[in-house]
Amino acid sequence: MKKYFSPPALIVTLGLTGAMAIYMQQRGAKIPAILVGCLIFFVLNLLVFTFYLRALAAMFRILNLPDRKLNTYAFHLYPVALTVLYAAFLLGMARMANAPVPPLALAITLIGGIVLTLFAQLGGAFADVRKGVKKEAIRMENAGGVLGGFEILGSLTGSYKDGIILGYHTIAYDRLETMHRAQDSIIIEGSGDPKTELIIISKKAQPFLVALLQDRLKTSRSALIDPVSNKKSKTGPSRAKNTERKKPVKLVSTKAIRESKMAKGHKGV
């Protein structure tokens, strides 16, 4: 059940539901109306507040990382937007309970939350994560729809002392093994159980991560982003389907990979 709600959200929701029941009773509401109203509020607030707390926890975890450098302002703006939207939700519920909430205050809060959310989405889209038995793929797409983010003013990428940031995911440098370019993306293969694969399609995220790895590896930019080569065709010009990927660039030494695997083996014993 913890997957659907958190204990803090349950405690807060119980407290707010109790306060709502007392308020409705003082306003002369009948028992059936109180029960129905409190039940609806309890279910909705539990779901909304659980999402709110988990989103805040994910954002603040990123903001508290050591030596954090971000490629967007959205990590700071999303918590503000979510707080305003949750306040609008509470005002709406209070108004349904016949509390003296001015309609103008509710409208301003709701519109303000929506506007802040849209501005936050201009700062980038969250990564799409697909987990399998043997592989975990983290995919950063190009600017998408409203729910995906627009990436006009940045991308939800960054770095910290020990690794890189993709959305609310952190990947340690020592897990990144090789990097190569495909037709329109950067693909980074990593270690782990399951194995990690980063697929960077976002045009805003690619140059940021390339510059980050360039500085870390002390190498040239061209060594990381050489153009994709094409097979020669005897019958005509080459096509996209003939595209080859360049030889992968090692992001960590073979010795480091071996030592990391050995360390994990000793832990398993």
**46-105 confidence digits (pLDDT tens):** 999 999 999 999 999 999 999 999 988 999 999 999 999 999 999 998 888 888 889 999
Q: Which DSSP letter does residue 227 get?
A: P
d(C-alpha 182, C-alpha 175), whole Å: 20
d(C-alpha 26, C-alpha 143), whole Å: 51
Closest among 149, 142, 96 to 121, alpha carbons compared: 149
pTM above 0.85, yes or no: no
> pLDDT-derived band of residue 232, with 50, 70 and 90 as boundaries?
very low
Report whether 210 contacts 224 (CB < 8 A): yes
Query: Could you read off the pLDDT of 119-161 as tens digits, one per residue?
Result: 998 888 888 888 877 888 888 887 665 456 778 888 899 999 9
Helix%, strand%, coil% for the chain, nearest 5? 50, 15, 35
Per the listing, tokens 């309970």 go with 97
User: Judging by DSSP bridges, how do beta strands 135-140 and 195-200 pair with one another?
Assistant: parallel
> pLDDT-derived band of residue 218, with 50, 70 and 90 as boundaries?
confident
CA 28 from centre of chain: 45
> pLDDT-derived band of residue 4, with 50, 70 and 90 as boundaries?
low
